[in-house]
Amino acid sequence: MINNRKDYERNLNILLEKMERREVTFSPQVAHSIKSLLNVRKAPNGRYNFLTVDEHARITANSIVMMTQNRRFLGEESDDDGK
């Protein structure tokens, strides 16, 4: 659950890292999300300017982080010994 600015910024940073490593790709059908992510800007102090973060960018970042944290959602097996 997203409770504060710190959580939003964390999720945006995780999404950015995954995009840079090409772990996340987008289909042409979600061009609106890509455009939204390209519009996100940082302030001079390095924090995100939330006036540039719209609902598509927030939903995309939150969804990617949720899927990453919940491996069962992706259909991957657990890596721990407890199986």
Range of the domain at 16: 5-72
Domain assignment present for residue 82? The answer is no
Per the structure, the count of domains in the chain is: 1
Task: Supply the pTM of this predicted model.
Answer: 0.74
**What is the three-class DSSP state of 48?**
strand
Domain assignment present for residue 77? The answer is no
Domain assignment present for residue 83? The answer is no
Sign of the CA dihedral running 30, 33, 39, 40: negative
Domain assignment present for residue 78? The answer is no
Domain assignment present for residue 45? The answer is yes
Where do the H-state alpha helices sit in the chain? Answer: 5-20, 31-39, 55-69, 71-74
12, 48 contact by CB (below 8 A): yes
Query: Which pLDDT tens digits describe the chain residue by residue (83 residues)?
Result: 678 889 999 999 999 999 899 988 888 888 888 899 999 999 999 999 999 999 999 999 999 888 887 765 556 655 554 44
Domain assignment present for residue 30? The answer is yes
Q: What confidence score (pLDDT) does residue 28 get? A: 87
